[in-house]
């Protein structure tokens, strides 16, 4: 891997997501050697992936080069590599580009889409966890519009214009709102040969309300916002199958569609090699203690979505959102410095800053500890927080410019089929 043997401890971080990046940043002033590994050479700001999928933003404005994040740390190395195996006995990992010894290993690999073992759904539906996947969705939506325009039967046209989103959590809700904006503002203006009324957006949720992790207040408001945009909401509905033509469910709801976007859940994807006892059943997350040490290992840590830390306030582990990942990354950086200088590490406590979701222009819901609200002010707060959380000044300026342009013109300018999607 061409990484020099250090005379200080080597920290190997697998994953440059929210957790890994914040850990690397918090070690910037230490004298430790940092090796950051990721299968991509960029950090992805996942909360805005849905805007790439719905043509609101270009992908490069929500991604950021990982080497640039490390530039201030002299004793740091980035390698683009897929980590395949951990050998805890010899403190070594195997990657797609070779083997590497570690003194401390941090697993920050996030999660992957959960298809609940249904191969047909996995083969035919569209996940949205990465930039390439978001671009696939963007291409498919735009290709469908073009195909609908030349379809020779009403049935075929409707299937191209029928968009089914499975999962009514924040991702599904935000995407449904954004696709509804294409229907309401772009189709009538630019697709004169299509009847925008034929475009349907169905949001399917297994629970009895959308946004189940948020308050009832937020769910009620979000449902009203979605309905006002023309989204059809189906609650208490579980998808049984999708064969590429028809979605079947546990109820008598059957939908013919060319597009199913799967936002129904995530699962951990542990790396081979660690003791199965260190992995929590069902969620596939590494069981960690309050210092993020993986169960049974002193020098291996897990942070962010892949870590399962049960505490009094969070007996089922922390929510798989950005804040626990950021906070764990920051604290583990400080703790690694403590551990390598013979000091005691500090236990992690999650500071819940609240949650939010947006449902299109001027519409969002915000849940704070003592205060819940929705509407224009919530939308403004949502925009401000997401803008300021983006990595990189350039990205913030580009996103701000795009949002302002789209707001004034009711437009989504990134409607380009640059890399066609083949089913």
Ligand X SMILES: Cc1cc2nc3c(=O)[nH]c(=O)nc-3n(C[C@H](O)[C@H](O)[C@H](O)COP(=O)(O)OP(=O)(O)OC[C@H]3O[C@@H](n4cnc5c(N)ncnc54)[C@H](O)[C@@H]3O)c2cc1C
Q: Long-range CB contacts (< 8 A, 24+ apart) of 170-173? A: 170/211, 170/213, 170/214, 170/355, 170/356, 170/357, 171/50, 171/128, 171/263, 172/203, 172/205, 172/210, 172/261, 172/263, 172/264, 173/203, 173/210, 173/211, 173/222, 173/226, 173/357, 173/359
**Single residue of 9, 40, 60, 213 touching ligand X by CB under 6 A:** 40
CA torsion angle for 358, 359, 364, 365 (degrees, to 10)? -90
Q: Which of 58, 154, 174, 258 is the catalytic position?
A: 174
Between 231 and 321, whose beta carbon lies closer to ligand X?
Answer: 321
Q: Which residues make Cβ contacts (< 8 Å) with residue 93, sequence separation at least 6?
A: 12, 14, 83, 85, 86, 87, 99, 100, 102, 105, 271
**Single residue of 46, 54, 136, 327 touching ligand X by CB under 6 A:** 46
Phi, psi of 221 (to 5 degrees): -65, -45
Between 129 and 202, whose beta carbon lies closer to ligand X?
Answer: 129
Each residue 105-124 as x (binds ligand X by CB under 6 A) or -, in order, gives: ---xxx--------------
Picking from 52, 69, 13, the residue whose alpha carbon sits closest to that of residue 391 is: 69
Q: Does 82 bind ligand X (CB under 6 A)?
A: yes
Between 37 and 121, whose beta carbon lies closer to ligand X?
Answer: 37
**Single residue of 173, 271, 288, 294 touching ligand X by CB under 6 A:** 271
Between 129 and 157, whose beta carbon lies closer to ligand X?
Answer: 129
Whether 104 and 9 have beta carbons less than 8 Å apart is answered as yes
Q: Does 214 bind ligand X (CB under 6 A)?
A: no
Q: Does 320 bind ligand X (CB under 6 A)?
A: yes
Angle at 383 between CA 382 and CA 386, to 5 degrees: 85
Q: Does 128 bind ligand X (CB under 6 A)?
A: yes
Minimum Å distance from CB 252 to ligand X? Answer: 30
Angle at 292 between CA 289 and CA 298, to 5 degrees: 80
Q: Residue 92: is it exposed, middle or buried by C-beta count within 10 angstroms (0-12/13-18/19+)?
A: middle
**Alpha-carbon dihedral sign for residues 387, 268, 249, 260:** positive
Minimum Å distance from CB 38 to ligand X? Answer: 4
Minimum Å distance from CB 189 to ligand X? Answer: 27
In the residue annotation, 174 being an active-site residue is answered as: yes
Q: Does 136 bind ligand X (CB under 6 A)?
A: no
E strand or H helix at 366? strand 364-367
Whether 109 and 158 have beta carbons less than 8 Å apart is answered as no
**Single residue of 12, 13, 49, 211 touching ligand X by CB under 6 A:** 49
Between 15 and 59, whose beta carbon lies closer to ligand X?
Answer: 15
**Single residue of 10, 11, 17, 390 touching ligand X by CB under 6 A:** 17
How big is the site for ligand X, counted in residues (CB under 6 A)? 33
Q: Which residues make Cβ contacts (< 8 Å) with residue 332, sequence separation at least 6?
A: 23, 26, 106, 291, 292, 301, 303
Between 61 and 171, whose beta carbon lies closer to ligand X?
Answer: 171
Q: Does 56 bind ligand X (CB under 6 A)?
A: no
Minimum Å distance from CB 198 to ligand X? Answer: 27
Taking CB under 6 A as the binding criterion, the range among 4-12, 18-26, 176-184, 201-209 that sits at the site for ligand X is 18-26
Minimum Å distance from CB 359 to ligand X? Answer: 12
Q: Does 67 bind ligand X (CB under 6 A)?
A: no
Taking CB under 6 A as the binding criterion, the range among 232-240, 316-324, 396-404, 405-413 that sits at the site for ligand X is 316-324
**Single residue of 13, 14, 164, 203 touching ligand X by CB under 6 A:** 14
User: CA 164, CA 167: separation in Å to the nearest integer?
Assistant: 10
User: CA 21, CA 212: separation in Å to the nearest integer?
Assistant: 29
Q: Does 399 bind ligand X (CB under 6 A)?
A: no
Q: Residue 9: is it exposed, middle or buried by C-beta count within 10 angstroms (0-12/13-18/19+)?
A: middle
Report which residue's Cβ sits closest to ligand X: 17
**Single residue of 180, 226, 321, 390 touching ligand X by CB under 6 A:** 321
User: CA 387, CA 184: separation in Å to the nearest integer?
Assistant: 25
Minimum Å distance from CB 125 to ligand X? Answer: 14
Q: Does 304 bind ligand X (CB under 6 A)?
A: yes
Report, as residue numbers or ranges, the catalytic residues: 174
Residues that bind ligand X (CB under 6 A): 14-20, 37-40, 46-47, 49-50, 82-83, 108-110, 128-129, 170-171, 271, 304-306, 320-323, 325
């Amino acid at each position: 891997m061409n990484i020099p043997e250090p005379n200080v401890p080597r920290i190997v971080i697998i994953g440059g997501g929210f957790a890994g990046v914040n850990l690397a940043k918090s070690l910037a002033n230490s004298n430790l050697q940092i090796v950051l590994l990721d299968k991509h050479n960029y950090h992805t700001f996942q909360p805005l992936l849905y805007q790439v999928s719905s043509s609101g933003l270009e992908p490069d404005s929500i991604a950021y080069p990982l080497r640039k994040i490390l530039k201030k740390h002299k004793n740091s190395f980035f390698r683009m590599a897929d980590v395949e195996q951990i050998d805890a006995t010899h403190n070594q990992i195997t990657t797609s580009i070779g083997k590497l010894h570690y003194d401390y290993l941090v697993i920050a690999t996030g999660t992957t889409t959960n298809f609940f073992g249904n191969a047909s759904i996995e083969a035919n539906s569209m996940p949205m966890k990465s930039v390439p996947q978001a671009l696939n969705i963007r291409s498919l939506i735009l290709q469908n519009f073009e195909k609908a325009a030349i379809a020779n039967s009403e049935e075929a046209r409707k299937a191209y214009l029928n968009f089914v989103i499975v999962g009514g959590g924040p991702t599904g809700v935000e995407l449904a709102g954004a696709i509804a904006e294409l229907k309401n503002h772009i189709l009538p203006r630019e697709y004169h040969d299509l009847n925008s009324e034929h475009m349907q957006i169905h949001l399917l949720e297994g629970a009895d309300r959308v946004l189940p992790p948020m308050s009832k207040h937020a769910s009620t408001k979000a449902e009203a916002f979605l309905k006002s945009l023309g989204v059809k909401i189906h609650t208490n509905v579980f998808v049984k199958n999708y064969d590429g033509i028809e979605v079947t469910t546990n109820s008598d709801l059957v939908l013919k569609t060319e597009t199913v976007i799967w936002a129904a859940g995530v699962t951990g994807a542990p790396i081979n090699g660690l003791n199965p006892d260190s992995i929590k059943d069902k969620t596939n997350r590494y069981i960690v203690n309050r210092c993020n040490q993986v169960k049974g290992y002193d020098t291996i840590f897990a942070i962010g979505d892949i870590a399962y830390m049960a505490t009094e306030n969070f007996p089922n582990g922390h929510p798989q959102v950005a804040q626990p990942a950021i906070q764990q990354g920051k604290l583990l950086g400080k703790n690694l410095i403590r551990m390598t200088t013979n000091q005691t590490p500090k236990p992690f406590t999650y500071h819940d800053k609240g949650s939010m979701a947006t449902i299109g222009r001027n519409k969002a819901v915000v849940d704070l500890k003592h205060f819940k609200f929705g509407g224009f002010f919530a939308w403004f707060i949502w925009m401000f927080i997401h803008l300021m959380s983006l990595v990189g000044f350039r990205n913030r300026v580009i996103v701000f410019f795009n949002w302002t342009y789209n707001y004034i013109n009711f437009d989504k300018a990134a409607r380009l089929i640059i890399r066609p999607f083949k089913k």
